[in-house]
Amino acid sequence: MEITYREALRLALIDEMNANEDVIILGEEVGRYGGAYGVTKDLIKQFGSDRIIDTPISEAAIVGTAVGAAMTGLRPVAELMYVDFIGMTMDQLANQAAKIRYMFGGQIGVPMVLRTQGGTGRSAGAQHSQSLEAYVMHTPGLRLAMPATVTDAYHMLRQAMQQPDPVVFIEHKGLYTMKGELDVDKATAPWGKAKVVREGDDLVIVTYSRQLHYALAASEELAKSGIEATVIDLRTLNPLDFETILPYVKRAGRAMVVTESVLTAGVAAELGARISEECFDYLEDPVVRVAGEDIPISVSPLLEKNSVPTPELIIETARMMLA
């Protein structure tokens, strides 16, 4: 069936809550309002206020409550309106949720999901448009999922709600209205595995989230001039599946990493370093990072658009690499 990314997320929540009565949802306006982007719309009518819980406007309280609930045996799904607010939760998230299994010697875990929204595209300004996945990726103990497609939005959210450890689940706000086919019975890949979305012998593009669609658009345009690119969707950044990437990079000898997060000390830096270390003898050229500018995101639509990678920039970079 064809549905939107937003509807796929909502359906995943409904199906998992029906399958597991321990799943609860909490956050600002997730109940009567239906969530900042409408993902939890009308769920309170179906599951009641005991399982769909509107909280005070306190990100620290939301995540702290989720951590405690998870430790008692529930499976909370906490929602932050924007990933930009994750800094206010970092004690609860990075010092508690990420470390409790280790601190208790494996006797207790924190099986929670933190759903949040990141990325540009809505002229929301510098405080509501960031891509802060590197904050999460930097913290051992936190799983990190960033689905790019309708099918992955559904299956990866359901998989996240079944993990024994805390999962930060970042949805790109520019994808909510995107439509796609969903087969509820079949995931595109197992949890933690990257997916090769397109194959080509000249160049490997490694990416995730909305940039997958930009990379695919760029690859189709490049093909018109004889440049064939492999495009790999990481899907999760923790676990990070390098086993899927390596043979393609070794074959092509050239790799580009495309991320919306900033260039300096970001996800692209880690991916670029790992590819360079593990494929050094096979690379024809250095790994190239195409990432967000090291600037606050402007509210101006034109400046915002060009502060992160575009299909045009990916095309230009690929042609430079193969010149």
| Residue entry with tokens 């998992």 | 16
Residue 279 CA to residue 54 CA, distance in Å, equals: 49
Closest CA to 275 of 293, 261, 256, 260: 256
CA angle 189, 192, 195 (to 5 degrees): 45
Cα dihedral 157, 160, 161, 167 in deg (nearest 10): -120
- Asked if 155 is an active-site residue, the reply is no
Tell me whether residue 151 is exposed, middle or buried, using C-beta atoms within 10 angstroms of its C-beta: 0 to 12, 13 to 18, 19 or more: buried
* C-alpha distance from residue 304 to each of 123, 184, 260, 317 (Å): 7, 35, 11, 20
Element (H, E) at 249: helix 242-252
Phi-psi category of residue 126: left, alpha or beta, with phi > 0 → left and psi -120 to 50 → alpha = alpha
Contact 210, 216 (CB under 8 A): no
**Which amino acids are annotated catalytic?**
128
